[in-house]
Amino acid sequence: MTDLDTFRAETRAWLEANCPAEMRTPMQGDEDNFWGGRNAKFASEAQKVWFERMRDKGWTVPDWPTQYGGGGLDGAQHKVLREEMAAIGARSPLSSFGIWMLGPALLKYGNEQQKAEHLPKIARGEIRWCQGYSEPNAGSDLASLQTRAVPDGDDFIINGSKIWTSYANYADWIFCLVRTDPAAKKHDGISFILFDMTSKGVTTKPILLISGKSPFCETFFDNVRVPQSHVVGTINRGWDVAKYLLQHERAMISGMGGRDGGRPLGQVAADSLGTDDQGRLDDPILRGQIATFDVDEAALACAAERAVDLAKAGQLHPAFSSAMKYYGTELNKRRHEILMSAGGIDALEWESERSQEGSRARAWLRTKANSIEGGTSEVMLGIVAKRILDLPGA
Amino acid sequence: MALVLTEEQTMLRDSARGLIGDKAPVAHLRKLRDERDATGFSRELWKSFAEMGLAGLLVPEEFGGSGLGCVEAGVVMEEIGRNLTPSPFLSTAVLAASALARGGSAAQKKTFLPKIADGSLIAALAIDEGAKHRPAKIALQATRAGNGFKLKGDKALVVDGHVADLLIVAARSSGAPGNADGLTLFLVDPKAKGVAIERTVMVDAHNAARISFDDVEVNADQVLGEVDRGGALLEAVLNVGRAAAAAEMLGVADEAFGRTVSYLKERKQFGKLIGEFQALQHRAAHLYTEIEILRAAVLKALQAVDADAAQARVAVAVAKAKAGTVTTLAVQEGVQMHGGMGMTDQFDVGLFMKRARVLQELLGDSAYHAEALAELKKY
């Protein structure tokens, strides 16, 4: 038995003993995510137990160094853990922009003090983070952002506003892009800075979306005072950090569709449409659409697995996450179009207990943002054309 | 298992790329086509394949082969796809070698496998009968006669059937077309009485044959595997072949794409390189993404077949279905982005389109495999 086989056996046994049965069912909605933070609320006792056990193993962030609250697993062990969790349908114990986005950027660009201060709190779910990137006039053209940070002694004074800040109204801290040198070229005068959302001068306002929900906010900064020591990396070189973080964000978004681990589409459709005497969906065209969707989804899962293995081998193109983000989000939109078709008129109900307050329709509408947030599909294709295919003038 | 090639597999790819790129680039196919070569492939090239250990790649070492797996076969197939190389690699080294190694008796293995490995025997698998790949509907009849059987019926798209020294024929020995059970595989001498072979030069200038069997007598020793139980063996062999064909399609798609991207960087219109136009950039970037996803799906299928060919149906269905749609897109975009030049016989991109069309049909098209996936997932 190799060391890895032993690790697999131990992991399987530990998960079997420690993952509550309720945490092995597909998540139904965002309420089933545990986001941590100062005002964290658990949806159930099982969610609390599961989170605490995983946190104590360092397995909220299995591949981070143990000194920062991680599990210290190498790439192969991390893959084993993911496979074993998937095998029993175990939910992720902690959903966190700190884990998916800020953490990797801090590990690469943060100084020792910043890492020691922030990473363990992310790992333990104590601080919930939000991302201050887009502005009303800086969407796809993110580098044209105008939020200003002006030096004042050892501090910066920050003024401006952000938009599409996910869950800013629940977040404890923000990682934010600010302009520190307005005279420089647009990519060269940006800094990446961290600050507490309870700082004086920070306000948030939720934005009502077509889904009827408000996952995003407008966030306003009115003379917010932040120590200069909160800049990650070099002042005016924040774009490097921002781009690195975006790769992780895009990798995360590309996997969104598959992560819910819900019932297979074919089964969902069979529930509402019924089947013929051979067990085939009673809608041959939709059945064909689902089959071609399943081919694409399974193939994308292979590509995601391969990307992790390539990264481990140091062979992954840094812009590949843009290709995956593009494809994954378009596929997720397709998935939800199929779900709406399969649901038919039942999926149209918006306000009823039967429809769980229109959960399917709201989820469908939410996915339309997938190909916009974190860089539009068109921006992703442009990045692939320029950085991977090296096409002229891209 | 990591979804990347190992160091040894990468070395094999590099040497296969060297051999095939050197000796059998697209110009090699053109020459055979333009000279209306009687065999449609080069025996000299096949000898080089054998000398490099490629003909016997899947043949166990005890029978003179390299004893390697399907991932390695896929690596070679991808290079064949890149160069549109006509060779008996798929028919003989992949399909026939798999069938014999998996289902052959000790005597059959000893007779045929060493000859496959040394390049002296070409073998062809005869499965398809109608316009589409439907192995469950095989109707070519095997009727018991004396100690053996008589075969009657017709086969089509028998790859390399016109030059084969050995035919592996899938026949119905019991049950009705559509039944999963009741199939038997036979090893048939193409020179046997009652076998009529018509070479069919296909749209891609590769080789296949229509073969008719008119009461061809075969004895019990010529049964490959078990009587009436050939379905499972055939399925395993087909899965190997489908994964390998998907690998060839990946090579076709990737090469057509690479040539197209180069063209976008050379061709000028409206005073600039056409690769500067966003309309083309986005289509190229989309195609790149599709091809990388296909690459992962193909490797997954090849690894799954190596692990257990009979259990690999899902991974193989995904890879072959995806290969069909992606490769079709790659060659269509290739011709379109080459503009008028893409329509000329002088430019190679059209040859890639033709090969892609044949590979789409071969061993089941995208719709066939998507349907199989729906069946497997029970909806």
Whole-number pLDDT of residue B309: 81
Whole-number pLDDT of residue B144: 96
**Chain B CB contacts of A297 below 8 Å:** none
Whole-number pLDDT of residue B326: 98
Could you tell me the pLDDT band of residue B17, with boundaries at 50, 70 and 90? very high
How high is the mean pLDDT of chain B? 97
Residue B146 buriedness (CB in 10 A; 0-12 / 13-18 / 19+): exposed
pLDDT digits (tens, 9 = 90+) for B73-95: 999 999 999 999 999 999 999 99
- What is the distance between the alpha carbons of residues B284 and A382, in angstroms, rounded to a whole number? 10
The residues of chain A scoring below 50 in pLDDT are: 259-260
- With CB atoms and an 8 Å threshold, state whether A299 touches B322: yes
Residue of B nearest to A277 (CA): B379
pLDDT digits (tens, 9 = 90+) for A286-333: 999 999 999 999 999 999 999 989 988 899 999 999 999 999 999 999
pLDDT digits (tens, 9 = 90+) for B265-302: 999 999 999 999 999 999 999 999 999 999 999 999 99
Whole-number pLDDT of residue A260: 46
**A326 reaches B (C-beta below 8 A):** yes
- What is the distance between the alpha carbons of residues A91 and A32, in angstroms, rounded to a whole number? 9
Whole-number pLDDT of residue A262: 66
Could you tell me the pLDDT band of residue B157, with boundaries at 50, 70 and 90? very high
Whole-number pLDDT of residue A259: 43
- With CB atoms and an 8 Å threshold, state whether A264 touches B321: no
Average pLDDT value for residue range B330-355? 97
How high is the mean pLDDT of chain A? 93
Average pLDDT value for residue range B151-179? 96
Close Cβ partners of B120 (under 8 Å, ≥ 6 residues apart): none
Tell me the HSE value of B188 on the side-chain side, using a 13 A CA sphere.
34
**Main-chain dihedrals φ then ψ at residue B308, nearest 5 degrees:** -170, 100
**Main-chain dihedrals φ then ψ at residue B33, nearest 5 degrees:** -70, -50
- With CB atoms and an 8 Å threshold, state whether A291 touches B282: no
Whole-number pLDDT of residue A51: 97
Whole-number pLDDT of residue A255: 65
> How many residues are recorded in chain A?
394
Average pLDDT value for residue range B353-366? 98
Whole-number pLDDT of residue A197: 98
Q: To which residue do tokens 């394949």 refer?
A: B49
**Selection from B30, B64, B50, B130 nearest residue B92 by Cα:** B50
**Selection from A9, A89, A17, A98 nearest residue A60 by Cα:** A98
**Chain B CB contacts of A381 below 8 Å:** 281-282, 285-286
Close Cβ partners of B105 (under 8 Å, ≥ 6 residues apart): none
**Chain A CB contacts of B374 below 8 Å:** 266, 280, 287-288, 290-291, 294
Whole-number pLDDT of residue A261: 52
Residues β-bridged to residue A357: none
- A43 touches A34 (CB < 8 A): yes
Tell me the HSE value of B363 on the side-chain side, using a 13 A CA sphere.
31
Residue of B nearest to A263 (CA): B377
- What is the distance between the alpha carbons of residues B136 and B181, in angstroms, rounded to a whole number? 9
Could you tell me the pLDDT band of residue B192, with boundaries at 50, 70 and 90? very high
**Chain B CB contacts of A294 below 8 Å:** 370, 373-374, 377
- What is the distance between the alpha carbons of residues B362 and B249, in angstroms, rounded to a whole number? 11
